[in-house]
Structure 1
Amino acid sequence: MDIKWEYADGSTCAQQVKSSKNQIGKGDVVAWCKELKESHAADKYQLMLAGPIAAAVLDDSPFDDVEVPTPTSVDTLALLDQAITKVDRYLTAQSIAPIPLPLRESLVYELVARMLQASIHGKCMSRAEFDGWLLSGITAAYPHAVSQRLTANCEVLWSVLEIAAPVRASDRAFELILPLTVINGGASTAVVEMFLLRVWSTTREMRYRPDSIVPERAEKEYDTRLRLGRPFGDFAIPPQSSVEQVVMFAPIQQPGYEVGEWQLGDYQIELFVKYAAHSALRSVKKTTITIRENEFSVLTSNQTRFITVSNLDEYLKLL
């Protein structure tokens, strides 16, 4: 046995690797399979071949319940190319951004050396240990790729939009309150630096920035909630946890963006989040809301109104 795999369900697989530049005949394969099966080293067995083989090997396998997968080439450069491709796929599955080819090649060469050293001493390498070594190697050589992974397991939940009158009545544009939940399912602390709202219709374009963290509605009038609020700032989400924030957004007064009273009709709203470990904004959700006459009551009532931003209606249309 050259390699032994241990799976999460407790099952095991023993592999033996044989290679030759000359043709591998059926007789040798049968003998190797018998020897491997009689080792009683695992629940399942595979004979891994590299090089040219006789047609009868593929036609008549398995032998003694030992699987004989399709042989690979003995061309070491081709094998390294395959390994580089598979490492790339593995990194993608781990939500690590693509890394340069020279670094991938270096990782494969170092991985081969580590595996060889471990096999000499019969050392077991767990999946967690493998991932840890791989990430530490990439972090040292190419930290940008891993910095994107730090926020890959973060999600922002948003299902309700609350509209309110602006502090300065002359502006007339609604202020927007979003109850947001940030969930960090990763292994590292994530830091939220900011949110951004893009609001647009067929006739206007608006941008909203986070202004403060306010209490939930809880029957309080809007101006009371504002007084009890605090300025918006960076906040951290520890691994395997979540943080809830009720964020008040105010329109950005900047050339090209509207800050006046909204008009009746449909508006597209897109929420973005900026993580400290990520260089760019990340889109969280895009939705459509409809502003009707009733919404304008907030301009004079010191109360707010809720608008759902759930996509349930869109899904129901597909049924």
Structure 2
Amino acid sequence: MGGREAIRGFAIQTLICLLDSLWATRQWTAVTLEPDSDNDKVDIHWEYADGSTLAQQVKSSKNQIGKGHVVAWCRELKDSHAADKYQLILAGPIAAAVLDDAPFDDVEVPTPTSMDTLALLDQAITKVDRYLTAKSIEPLPLPLRESLIYELVARMLQAAILGKRMPCEEFDGWLLSGITASYPHAVSQRLTTNCAVLWSVLEIAGPVVGSDRAFELILPLTVINGGASTAVVEMFLLRVWSTTREMRYRPERVIPEKPEEEYATRRRLGRPFGDFAITPQSSVEQYVVFVPVQRPGYEANEWPRGDYQVELFVKYGAQEALCSVKRVTITIRMDEFSVLTSGETRPISVSNLDKYLSLL
């Protein structure tokens, strides 16, 4: 084999490894290109989350690959005893009997791939978006995808020269470092995509401080971080409106649950609202008191009876804009006004259960 053919074969092998790495649903944990072995039959060695392994050999040729060669290669690969499963990856034209009669010696022979390295690069550029989307990273501009793939190819070639085992976490790290350097907004989006804010009850209370008899609102909020990075909540915001008025509510205090205590006592035992962090795979629950925003254009006095739309927003530290959490409709009746003098609170459900039951 000439030098040019050898270089092309090695490039094809690297690109095939890259394409397999970008399968979003495949639970691989590590891969080694050109692993050290006695018989030199394994080009790519995969490790999976269930403990299984896969050895691949890559063969490419401009001429038709016949069944006899494939059978011999499969037998040699199986005899390497390098893994639990085996695949012979072919690039170029092959005889029809290869696909008709495969597998050979329990070695899989998938549909051949292209020998065109530019076509393989184009596949990887397309595929990387699907991989990143599965990891909650928004789609990337085409020029960034191209540069990212070329960087990955260079890193994988370097790993192949050293016979270095590459954990999946390291592969993801290469991707994220490349994106962060040139397109940090995509990663910032990812840090908050895996967060969820649970909210199912709204408590109405009378004002402890003078606010023109406008209700104070208590929201039991649970923030869950299902991602791999710590998330920071900087603030919440409530928009409350009806056909006749527009209101904004900001968080002021975090109070103890203690429903048996009077609201004034709970409020006094609370602390000022501030930024808080949610570590990966954990949650934080807070009872947050919201008070009306005193600003021209917004109402901050007693609510008239009727229906109101209430929308909750959250602002994460890694995200520039507010994010809508939930929008609900509540009804203020005469009974709700008892909180203005009783010192107690009245709960209003904001669950979607009734809406779903109406569909049955």
User: Fold match, TM over 0.5?
Assistant: yes
Cα displacement string for residues 46-96 of structure 1 (whole angstroms, at most 9, x for unaligned residues): 111111222222222222222111112111111101111221111111112
Q: What letter is aligned with 1:242?
A: S
C-alpha deviation, 1:277, in angstroms:
0.9
Q: Is the 8 A contact 2:152 2:174 kept in 1?
A: no
Counterpart for residue 216 of structure 1: 257
* Structure 2: tracts of 5 or more residues without a match: 1-41
Counterpart for residue 160 of structure 1: 201
Structure 2 counterpart SS, 1:32: helix
Q: What letter is aligned with 2:293?
A: I
| Residue 144 of structure 2 is aligned to residue 91 of structure 1 | no
| Residue 102 of structure 2 is aligned to residue 61 of structure 1 | yes
Fraction of identical pairs, as percent? 82
Aligned pair partner of 1:277 in 318, 324, 348 = 318
Q: TM-score if structure 1 supplies the norm length? A: 0.91
| Residue 86 of structure 2 is aligned to residue 37 of structure 1 | no
Cα displacement string for residues 179-220 of structure 1 (whole angstroms, at most 9, x for unaligned residues): 112222333322211101122334433221112222324422
| Residue 347 of structure 2 is aligned to residue 306 of structure 1 | yes
Q: What letter is aligned with 2:114?
A: S
C-alpha deviation, 1:170, in angstroms:
6.3
Cα displacement string for residues 282-306 of structure 1 (whole angstroms, at most 9, x for unaligned residues): 1222223232222111122121111
Q: What letter is aligned with 1:266?
A: D
C-alpha deviation, 1:255, in angstroms:
4.0
Structure 1 counterpart SS, 2:250: strand
Structure 2 counterpart SS, 1:194: strand
Give runs of ≥4 in structure 1 deviating > 6 Å: none
Q: What letter is aligned with 1:201?
A: S
Q: Is the 8 A contact 2:55 2:87 kept in 1?
A: yes
Aligned pair partner of 2:216 in 160, 168, 175 = 175
**Whole-angstrom CA distance in 2 between matches of 1:4 and 1:82:** 22
Q: What letter is aligned with 1:24?
A: I
Counterpart for residue 145 of structure 2: 104
**Whole-angstrom CA distance in 2 between matches of 1:317 and 1:48:** 55
| Residue 310 of structure 2 is aligned to residue 247 of structure 1 | no
| Residue 117 of structure 2 is aligned to residue 76 of structure 1 | yes
Structure 1 counterpart SS, 2:307: strand
Structure 2 counterpart SS, 1:216: coil
Structure 2 counterpart SS, 1:239: coil
* Structure 1: tracts of 5 or more residues without a match: none
Q: What letter is aligned with 1:228?
A: L
C-alpha deviation, 1:169, in angstroms:
6.0
Deviates more, 1:303-312 or 1:234-243: 234-243
Structure 1 counterpart SS, 2:174: helix
**Whole-angstrom CA distance in 1 between matches of 2:300 and 2:177:** 48
Counterpart for residue 23 of structure 2: none
| Residue 162 of structure 2 is aligned to residue 121 of structure 1 | yes
**Whole-angstrom CA distance in 2 between matches of 1:270 and 1:238:** 26
| Residue 56 of structure 2 is aligned to residue 15 of structure 1 | yes
Q: CA RMSD in A?
A: 2.1
C-alpha deviation, 1:162, in angstroms:
0.5
C-alpha deviation, 1:309, in angstroms:
1.7
C-alpha deviation, 1:109, in angstroms:
1.3
Structure 2 counterpart SS, 1:224: helix
Deviates more, 1:4-13 or 1:22-31: 22-31
Counterpart for residue 148 of structure 1: 189
Q: Is the 8 A contact 2:211 2:300 kept in 1?
A: no
Q: What letter is aligned with 1:122?
A: G
Counterpart for residue 226 of structure 1: 267
C-alpha deviation, 1:256, in angstroms:
3.9
Deviates more, 1:272-281 or 1:213-222: 213-222
Q: Is the 8 A contact 2:230 2:280 kept in 1?
A: yes
Counterpart for residue 132 of structure 1: 173
Structure 2 counterpart SS, 1:245: strand
Cα displacement string for residues 2-54 of structure 1 (whole angstroms, at most 9, x for unaligned residues): 11111111111111111122222222222222221222222211111111222
Q: TM-score if structure 2 supplies the norm length? A: 0.82
**Whole-angstrom CA distance in 1 between matches of 2:210 and 2:187:** 46
Deviates more, 1:119-128 or 1:255-264: 255-264
Counterpart for residue 278 of structure 2: 237
Counterpart for residue 292 of structure 1: 333
Q: What letter is aligned with 2:126?
A: T
Q: What letter is aligned with 1:76?
A: T
Structure 2 counterpart SS, 1:53: coil
Aligned length, in residue pairs: 319
Q: What letter is aligned with 1:195?
A: F
**Whole-angstrom CA distance in 1 between matches of 2:338 and 2:308:** 18
Specify whether residues 115 and 164 from structure 1 end up closer, same or farther in structure 2 by C-alpha distance, changes over 3 A only.
same
Counterpart for residue 20 of structure 2: none
**Whole-angstrom CA distance in 1 between matches of 2:66 and 2:307:** 73
Structure 2 counterpart SS, 1:56: helix
Aligned pair partner of 2:302 in 256, 261, 264 = 261
C-alpha deviation, 1:312, in angstroms:
2.4
**Whole-angstrom CA distance in 1 between matches of 2:96 and 2:305:** 75
Aligned pair partner of 1:193 in 234, 255, 258 = 234
**Whole-angstrom CA distance in 1 between matches of 2:317 and 2:103:** 54
